[in-house]
Amino acid sequence: MSAVEPIPSAAERDVYLKSFLKPFERWLDDPGVTEIMVNRPGEVWIERQAATGFERFDDPNINALLLQRLAVQIARVSHQAINREQPLLAASLPSGERIQIAGPPAAGEHWALAIRRHVTSELTLSDFGGARNFAHVAVGRAKGMSETDRRLKSLLDEGCIEEFLRASVRARKTMLVSGGTSTGKTSLVNALLREIGDGERIITAEDAAELRLSQPNHLSLSAVKGEMGEARINMTDLLEAALRMRPDRIILGEIRGVEAAAWLRAINTGHPGSITTVHADSPEGALEQLSLMTMQAGLPLSRGETIRYINSIVDIIIHVSRIDGARVIERIVFSPAEEN
């Protein structure tokens, strides 16, 4: 008769968890650190409250085995599970930090995580002014395009398409690339992604890994189709996980269904500059497709309200097609703020 393995007590679980968190202690104990991120073993990115940009650290102690053990222990402490059948986990550490973990196969064959620390600063308005937090305030107006939108519109009107696309990516305009099958949608998205600066954190969510990123701080998440004992992880699940992992931009490989609503919400909650694709025969068809898929999520909006909502979020629709056998950009629809 085989012996029954004893269940660790709560105190023992905490001891194990602390031992697996030890390589992260220097950042967890630093009152200025707000985010701790691991995209792949041996690589840690942090963000500080009073700094702009991310810092990278290479630490061989944060290896694949440690990350797996940490994930399993956090699952135990939070009375959840994480494995190939349940590769996404959102929880809180005993000290209060929020953590999101993505494991195989959703994060490829390695483990990724993001720890969000709540840092409270008792600042006065004078402190904000002294920290130059008022330097970029734009006074709102009822109507009128921004300087950036005027420049982009001018580039488009003058036929400077390449410069318009470059400037639009850098200005964090949200783009929808539409077209039929094999028209070059993904190739165009990959070209646009190359224009994003190395200082941004990018998280991609795809059904199949087709996006290529050269930026150092990026994480690729993949949907799981539920084969061979693996649970189905859909695009909406990935978007929800991505939002907890401190993205600057969330790039969705393709919109096919109800994840359209989650994608729009993600952009509208402080993540502009996203790019995604949709199957459609025209920019108007792309807008119609996106509205139908958004309505499938059950939002309490009419068709007209849904289209207005999309127009307020999606800045540019780029339609690609095949003409005489060549893949080309056929149309660009740019909707500056005053025209939405």
How is 219-260 classified by DSSP, letter by letter?
EEEE-EE--TTPPEE-HHHHHHHHHTT--SEEEES---STHH
Tell me the H-state helices in the chain. 10-21, 25-28, 64-77, 125-130, 147-157, 161-170, 185-193, 235-243, 259-268, 283-295, 303-313
Mean pLDDT of 9-33: 87
pLDDT-based confidence at 70, cuts 50/70/90? Answer: very high
326, β-bridge pairs: 323
- In the chain, list all ranges with CATH 3.30.450.90: 10-116
**What is the per-residue pLDDT for 256?**
94
pLDDT-based confidence at 128, cuts 50/70/90? Answer: low
The residue ranking higher by pLDDT, 228 or 57, is 57
Q: Encode pLDDT of 76-115 as tens digits.
A: 999 999 998 899 999 999 999 999 999 999 999 999 999 9
- In the chain, list all ranges with CATH 3.40.50.300: 147-339
At 116, the amino acid letter reads R
The encoded tokens of residue 203 equal: 């998280």
pLDDT over 70 for what percent of the chain?
87
| CATH class of the domain whose range is 147-339 | alpha beta
Q: Encode pLDDT of 156-203 as tens digits.
A: 999 999 999 999 999 999 999 999 999 999 999 999 999 999 999 999
Q: Encode pLDDT of 286-311 as tens digits.
A: 999 999 999 999 888 899 999 999 99
pLDDT over 90 for what percent of the chain?
76
**What is the per-residue pLDDT for 1?**
46
Fold designation for 10-116 = Beta-Lactamase (3.30.450)
